[in-house]
Amino acid sequence: MEIRKALVVGAGQMGSGIAQVFAQAGLEVVLNDIKPEFLERGIAVITKNLSRDVEKGRKTEEEKAAVLARIHPTTNMGDAHDAQLAVEAATENMEIKKNIFRQMDEVLPTGAVLATNTSSLPITEIAAVTSRPELVIGMHFMNPVPVMKLVEIIRGLATTNEVYEAIEDLTKKMDKVPVEVQDFPGFVSNRVLMPMINEAIYCVYEGVASVEDVDQVMKLGMNHPMGPLTLADFIGLDTCLAIMEVLHEGFGDSKYRPCPLLRKYVKAGWLGKKTGRGFYQY
């Protein structure tokens, strides 16, 4: 199965990054979103990333121009009618993802692979709304996509070996490191990371230590590049809460119960860096 053209649905932080690494690997990319301004913002981020690469000598101006020329922004998903792969990179909400998968299933040709960049939701449940569950797979990229090497590849219940191998090959072509993960809530990355972040929030909630001091302990004591609360702000507190809820519901274990302080911040609209305020002010 050769993948030459890909559809990326969602031009936000993750989707624009995925479009960039696909284009850098030589794929033609249809970047789709519901509003032109979302697409413009996504292309601006990609252009900024590539310009930084040129400044640092990692790319030439010609290479930058060639990558951008392979990315085709559009509000019409039908422009990807001849793609061999589609990747959904929308918000972490099951109903939104299912709706996108129904559309991709209609638009893409028979035999095309449908992938999701979900960070925690069940691949098997998403696949069930399509007419091709055997061609549905998880491709969980890490943020920021152009920089981070890891891609968790998650098989659904029906995913074929051929599809897995095609996605594994593509991941290597993008100079990423694929890791095979089974379809469990949170996969590996967020099953380990999010409870740590949640516990750090509990430390603040219970008055064990300040936000700054919790982060300092993990940076200096555990050699983490950034503290868990800073990381939560970068990920988005709404995303952290959504993943904790998936873990709590999926495993039914109280150890995954989201901290009340996390819920309060999300209800207040303090979602982290993207809104200017989370555990820190930006």
The reply, when asked if residue 12 is annotated as ligand binding, is yes
A 10 A CB-CB count for 24 gives 23
The helix, strand and coil proportions of the chain, stated in percent and rounded to the nearest 5, come to 50, 15, 35
The reply, when asked if residue 198 is annotated as ligand binding, is no
The reply, when asked if residue 169 is annotated as ligand binding, is no
Residue 190 a catalytic site member: yes
Alpha carbons 279 and 281: distance in angstroms, whole number: 7
Active-site residue (options: 32, 49, 117, 119): 119
Alpha carbons 170 and 158: distance in angstroms, whole number: 20
The 150-155 sheet, strands edge to edge: 71-74, 28-32, 5-9, 85-88, 113-116, 136-141, 150-155, 177-181
Residue 76 a catalytic site member: no
The reply, when asked if residue 24 is annotated as ligand binding, is no
The reply, when asked if residue 97 is annotated as ligand binding, is yes
The reply, when asked if residue 183 is annotated as ligand binding, is no
CB contact set of 13 (below 8 Å; sequence gap of 6+): 45, 143, 144
The reply, when asked if residue 117 is annotated as ligand binding, is no
A 10 A CB-CB count for 202 gives 17
Residue 117 a catalytic site member: no
Active-site residue (options: 16, 120, 190, 198): 190
The reply, when asked if residue 20 is annotated as ligand binding, is no
The reply, when asked if residue 142 is annotated as ligand binding, is no
Alpha carbons 271 and 18: distance in angstroms, whole number: 23
Residue 212 a catalytic site member: no
The reply, when asked if residue 33 is annotated as ligand binding, is yes
Classify strands 5-9 and 28-32 as parallel, antiparallel or unpaired.
parallel
The reply, when asked if residue 233 is annotated as ligand binding, is no
Active-site residue (options: 32, 49, 120, 152): 152
The reply, when asked if residue 221 is annotated as ligand binding, is no
A 10 A CB-CB count for 110 gives 7
Distances (CA, A) of 248 to 155, 185, 231: 21, 9, 21
Binding-site residues, in ranges, read 10-15, 33, 92, 97, 119, 143, 274
Binding-site residues for NAD(+), in ranges, read 10-15, 33, 92, 97, 119, 143, 274
Q: Which residues belong to the active site?
A: 119, 140, 152, 190
